[in-house]
Structure 1
Amino acid sequence: METESVTIRKAGQGDVPAIVAMFANDSLGGHGDTTDPSALPDYRAAFRLIDQSPNETLYVAVKGGEVVGTFQTLITTTLTGRGGSSMIVEAVHTRADCRGQGVGEAMIRFCLDEARRQGLRQVQLTSNAKRTDAHRFYGRLGFEASHIGFKFKLK
């Protein structure tokens, strides 16, 4: 059993290749991510936009000195819920060889703790309909499948 702790920290530009490698290794996501060096400037540009945003944060999970997971948060305020703010969690990914070792749980618990610290009203996320293992995982952590999500792809 793996017992080494997982550290969550804000991602730096130097983490981009490791994050992209996780996404490119994802057979279910269908996002078209690639480790082709010619694509790296696109990823670095996206990282800069996220890093400059006051409402978005990209994180990495580190274990044994290696990036083994990632997720992004977005804080949004709506008029619903009397003007309540929520945390949206996006792009949650654990490196394939590290699944089942507590990485995903550490990342999600970090999000929940951070949302509580900020006094947010809820944490929400979407998950690819094909990721049934992830759905069970989120349910085990207390998330409810309360809504149906829709996407309209433009590119």
Structure 2
Amino acid sequence: MSSQELLIREAKESDLPSLIGLFAADTMGGHGDTNDPSAHDDYLRAFRAITASSDQTLYAAELGGEIVGTFQTIVVTSLHGRGSSAMIIESVQTRGDMRGQGIGAAMINFCIDEAKGRGMKMVQLTSNAVRKDAHRFYERLGFKPTHLGFKMALK
């Protein structure tokens, strides 16, 4: 990163075009994200559901007044582990031209610090199986591939 300070803050509704752009530019994710204006209401609905939840937070990473990354955290409390809570890190994206500059690490470390500060015992995330570079990145940050995930697309 340059001498500019990376600001990680809760996302605002006015950030939506930039955040949507990050996801739409992701050719590996396969989530069908798009900058098409006809999809804006879907994103707005999701944004409002996230911000209305006390267990979810959507963040924007800003550098020099521009959105350069985003991620979402979800807090889950389970009966197993004696009622422990964990933070799930989801939807991590760094703008393509800004990768390799420490932004992703800053976002993940923000999550880890937040979870520790809230007394959580674990942070966890999933990563698309095709994202080998991302897997190496997460392992460098101390994450271990301990579980195998399964998904089922519903129509």
Q: TM-score, normalised by structure 2?
A: 0.97
SS class of match (1:28) = coil
Counterpart Cα distance in 2 of 1:154 and 1:90: 20
Distance 2:22 2:6 in 1: 17
Distance 1:17 1:121 in 2: 34
Mapped partners of 1:75, 1:55: distance in 2: 5
Q: Which amino acid aligns with 2:79?
A: L
Name the aligned partner's letter for residue 74 of structure 1: I
1:133-144 alignment to 2 at 5 Å? Answer: 133-144=133-144
- 2:149 counterpart letter in structure 1: G
Deviation, 1:5, is 2.5
- Aligned pair count reads 155
| 1:2 counterpart residue number | 2
Gaps of 5+ in 2: none
Question: Cα deviation per residue 1:1-25 (whole Å; 9 max; x = unaligned)?
Answer: 7343211000000111101101000
1:123 maps onto 2:94 in alignment = no
Distance in 1 between residues matched to 2:143 and 2:7, nearest whole Å = 22
Distance 1:19 1:72 in 2: 11
1:80 Cα deviation after fit: 1.1
* Code of the aligned partner of 1:93: Q
Alignment pair present for 1:79 and 2:79: yes
| TM-align CA RMSD | 0.9
Tell me how far 1:116 sits from its aligned partner: 0.3
Tell me what 1:25 maps to: 25
Separation (CA, whole Å) in 2 of partners of 1:34 and 1:101: 26
Structural mapping, 1:33-48, within 5 Å: 33-48=33-48
Write the mapping of 1:28-107 to structure 2, written as runs, cut at 5 A: 28-107=28-107
- CA offsets 1:47-88 (integer angstroms, 9 cap, x no match): 000000010000010011100000000000001111110000
Looking at structure 2, the residues matched to 35 and 135 of structure 1 have their Cα atoms a distance apart, in angstroms, of 27
> Secondary structure, in 3 states, of the residue corresponding to 1:101?
coil
Supply the distance in 2 between the matched residues of 1:3 and 1:112 (Cα, whole angstroms): 24
